[in-house]
Amino acid sequence: MPRRKPETTGGPVHSKAKAKRARASKSTEAEAAKPSEERRGPGRPSSYKPEFAEQARKICELGATDLDIANFFEVAVSTIYAWKITHPEFSESLKRGKEVADDLVEQRLFARATGYSHDAVKIFMPRGSPAPVYAPYIEHCPPDTTAAIFWLCNRRKENWRQRQELTGGDGGPIKHEHSHEVIDRPPPETREEWIERRNRELGAIAAVGAAAGSTN
């Protein structure tokens, strides 16, 4: 008589296998959520190179954003974020480059707010002249009010904040006074009164029209 095989649907062995599969599933999901730079396997080298730090600094000085840097290195923006974490020298280069660009914008804004002068050239072509005539001169740009307000609102907020403070007498709270005036108005007319008044108006209009017709 053949022997029956023991059932394997339960017991500690089945529970351990089920727990192992659950841990493997969670590990796969966590790995998929990581950036591409962090998901690389032990045998897959990183696409980052040490010379990237200096290159990133130079393009940041020209006003490049993280998206521009990602396009320059032909990687995803998430990879740039991962490089900042895993490569401190890369993150520091980005900060230095962006500070240079911000300083330049600050200088230009200050010059626009206070006014500036620059060398310029006017080109003339006189009649009968074989070549154009170049007339160098100095062009003066007056101060820009909008730039000055923007500068002061950010540098001297306590004096130039764009906020209106409403106070009452002697700097106290505003007092609200409400007055109820009684307006003498006639009471609203009823439907019958409105019909009667309307008939009188129509009768008067018809009488005027009849009088005008008899006159003609």
pLDDT at 166: 65
pLDDT at 197: 84
CA dihedral 193, 197, 199, 205 (to 10 degrees): -170
CA distances in angstroms from 206 to 11, 194, 216, listed in the order given: 107, 18, 16
Residue 68 identity (one-letter amino acid): D
The whole-model pTM stands at: 0.49
Q: Each residue's pLDDT tens digit in the chain (216 positions)?
A: 555 555 555 555 556 666 666 666 655 555 544 554 444 544 455 789 999 999 999 999 999 999 999 999 999 999 999 999 999 999 999 999 999 999 999 999 999 999 989 899 999 888 888 899 999 999 999 999 888 888 888 888 888 776 666 666 666 777 767 666 666 666 777 888 888 888 888 888 887 777 766 666
d(CA 73, CA 84): 14
pLDDT value of position 158: 81
Cα distance between residue 46 and residue 82, in whole Å: 11
Phi and psi torsions of 117, nearest 5°: -130, 150
